Amino acid sequence: MHLVGIDFEDWYLDVEQTGEPRAARAAFARQVDRIVDILNDTGTLGTFFLLGRTAERYPEIVRLVADAGHELASHGYGHQRIPELTAETFRADVARSIEVIEGIGGKRPVGYRAPYFSFTGEPWFYPALAEMGFLYSSSVLPARGVHSGLPDHPLRPRRIGDTSLLEIPIAVAEVAGQRLPAAGGGFWRILPWPMISWAARGTSPDRPFAGYLHPHEFDDRPLRSQRGVRRDAFVNVGRTSIPQKFRRMCQTHGGTRFIDYVKSVGS
Ligand SMILES: [Zn+2]
């Protein structure tokens, strides 16, 4: 079972914070168009985790996504890592994103994803999300990642305490006892399609394949980071294979919105 997760953030203006605004806007529009087209072609609905400040910049693109039937969830507002926040600044960041999403889409989001999967066990994290009315979070990479990851976290979704909140960790592949990230992003750039498909086949409703991809990975033009050639090489190597892998994923394994999965397992 493939849960389609798109982290809706403008790579040039909100993540790398570089580039000329007009070109960046054009790039973002064509990237999201490509994702929506693939979902439409394959009859798949997905969840878009909206970064508040990106959504605020592109209300018309958010509406296009919502009108196609996709779920609007929250990726926070400012894209700061969780350990850099306090309980108060975290709440303020998420509340601001809720306001933006509700203002554009007309509905309060019930799903949240932490920037960079950077949740590291902060005790205020889940209580704050539960209090703000979220039904699920997909904020944990249950493996050792480049900059984040909780390698001892369960691989299956888990209920948080006595709340109605479900944590849905992103997908990993288990190879020779090792957990390898397999859910998207940089891993999809380098992993061959058969490996990704194999990882998705091993999952079930008990342990869905929760994915994450970003609009910039769908650009048909090379990305420029202005942080040097090594960074440019990192973000561009294998990247053009992503749209085709995503299409095959939706064709082969289907795909669903996170909220539909959450409803199917009961709250
Ligand atoms: Zn992000």
What CATH number is given to the structural domain containing 216? 3.20.20.370
Q: What is the pLDDT of residues 151-168, one digit of tens each?
A: 999 999 999 988 889 999
Ligand 1 center–CA 9 separation, angstroms: 6
Cα separation, 55 vs 267, whole angstroms: 28
SS3 2: strand
Q: What is the pLDDT of residues 55-78, one digit of tens each?
A: 999 999 999 999 999 999 999 999
Q: How many domains, the chain?
A: 1
Contact predicate 208/157, CB 8 Å: yes
Q: What is the pLDDT of residues 84-141, one digit of tens each?
A: 999 999 999 999 999 999 999 999 999 999 999 999 999 999 999 999 999 999 999 9
% helix / strand / coil in the chain, to the nearest 5? 45, 15, 40
Q: What is the pLDDT of residues 6-53, one digit of tens each?
A: 999 999 898 888 878 999 999 999 999 999 999 999 999 999 999 999
Provide mean pLDDT across the span 177-203.
87
* Residue 267: predicted pLDDT: 54
With a pLDDT cut of 70, the percent of the chain lying above it is 100
Ligand 1 center–CA 5 separation, angstroms: 11
Ligand 1 center–CA 113 separation, angstroms: 8
Ligand 1 center–CA 211 separation, angstroms: 13
Contact predicate 75/51, CB 8 Å: yes
Helices 242-253 and 21-41, axial angle in degrees (round to 10): 30
Above 80 in pLDDT, residue 226?
Answer: no
SS3 256: strand
Joined together, the tokens standing for residue 97 give 């994103």
Q: Choose the weakest-confidence range: 57-61, 67-71, 228-232, 262-266.
A: 228-232
Cα separation, 201 vs 148, whole angstroms: 25
Ligand 1 center–CA 14 separation, angstroms: 9
Pairing mode, strands 136-137 and 111-112: parallel
Ligand 1 center–CA 254 separation, angstroms: 24
Above 70 in pLDDT, residue 216?
Answer: yes
Above 90 in pLDDT, residue 258?
Answer: yes
Cα separation, 101 vs 50, whole angstroms: 8
Ligand 1 center–CA 207 separation, angstroms: 23
Joined together, the tokens standing for residue 82 give 């969780």
Using CB atoms within 10 Å of the CB of residue 194, give its burial: 0 to 12 exposed, 13 to 18 middle, 19+ buried: exposed
- Residue-number span of the structural domain to which 162 is assigned: 2-265
Other beta carbons within 10 angstroms of residue 211's beta carbon come to 27
Ligand 1 center–CA 232 separation, angstroms: 18
Ion ligand 1: residues, CB within 5 A, are 7, 9, 115
Cα separation, 251 vs 59, whole angstroms: 29
Joined together, the tokens standing for residue 131 give 């209090």
Ligand 1 center–CA 7 separation, angstroms: 6
